[in-house]
Chains A and B, each alone.
Chain A
Amino acid sequence: QSILTQPPSLSADPGQKVTISCSGRRSNIGNNYVAWYQQLPGIAPKLVIYEDDKRPSGVPDRFSASKSDTSATLAITGLQTGDEAEYFCGTWDTTLETELFGGGTKLTVL
Chain B
Amino acid sequence: QVHLQQSGPGLVKPSQTLSLTCAISGDSVSRNSGAWNWVRQSPSRGLEWLGRTFFKSKWYREYALSVKDRITVDPDTSRNQFSLQLHSVTPDDTAVYYCAASNEGGDFDYWDKGTLVNVSS
Report A81-110 residues with CB < 8 Å from chain B CB: 88, 90-92, 96-101, 103-104
How far apart sit A2 and B109, CA to CA, in the bound complex (Å)? 22
Q: Give the docked Cα–Cα distance between A91 and B108 (Å).
A: 10
- Judge whether B14 is part of the interface by a CB distance below 8 angstroms: no
Known: A88-B47, A101-B47, A104-B46. A45 touches B65 (CB 8 A): no
Interface residues on A, range: 20 to 34
- In chain B between 83 and 121, which residues have their CB closer than 8 angstroms to a CB of chain A? 98, 103, 105-109, 111-114
Residues of A19-57 at the interface with B, using a CB-CB cut-off of 8 Å, are: 32-33, 35, 37, 43-47, 50-51, 56
Alpha-carbon distance A43/B103, docked complex (angstroms): 21
B27 on the A face (CB < 8 A): no
Q: DSSP majority for the B interface?
A: strand
Name the distance in Å between B120's Cβ and chain A's nearest Cβ: 21
Among A2, A44, A56, A100, the residue within 8 A (CB) of B112 is: A44
Residues in chain B near residue A90, CB distance under 8 A: 47, 107-108
Q: How far is the CB of A86 from chain B (nearest CB, A)?
A: 10
Contact B65 A96 (CB under 8 A): yes
Count chain B CB atoms within 10 A of each CB in A43, A44, A92, A97 and give the residue with the most. Answer: A44
- Interface of A toward B, CB cutoff 8 Å: 2, 32-33, 35, 37, 43-47, 50-51, 56, 88, 90-92, 96-101, 103-104
